[in-house]
Copies of this chain bind each other. A is one copy, B any other.
């Protein structure tokens, strides 16, 4: 043993770093700290933070905002070959959007037993109504992502 702390299971990829950065910005803006990034090849084509309060938008989760920006950037509603990185397990709304957008690979940091719909609850990608299933990877950056959320809600209690 050379190190005292727990080693991360793998290094945090740059797009997840960008998503975590967006999550920190959301917290500073008083929004629930979740961030997302869409990548095509080696290029990040969209980064977005959760923003449901200002302007008021019940659909303003980081994933939805990043997918919309990415579609606008490439001029196509189908983000074929693109990957999405997000700091929290997507909810049903966002998992559905990820499928509609034809995202190839979904990477999420922290799992969300209370609101997630990938490995919990609605399990959107496992339904036969789901016409496109991304590959799913999780865990990279989860410690930072989860601590950011815990800190945010702790301050507001």
Residues of A whose CB lies within 8 Å of any CB of B are 52-53, 55-60, 64, 67-68, 71-72, 74-79, 91-97, 99-102, 113-117, 120-124, 127-131
Interface pair A116/B129, CB less than 8 Å apart: yes
Listed by A's residue number, 21 A-B pairs whose Cβ atoms lie within 8 Å are: A53-B77, A56-B77, A57-B72, A58-B71, A58-B100, A58-B102, A59-B100, A59-B101, A60-B77, A92-B122, A92-B124, A92-B127, A93-B94, A93-B100, A94-B96, A96-B117, A114-B129, A115-B129, A116-B129, A117-B122, A120-B129
In the complex this chain forms, how many copies of it are found? 2
- Within the complex, the shortest CB–CB distance from A125 to chain B, in Å, comes to 10
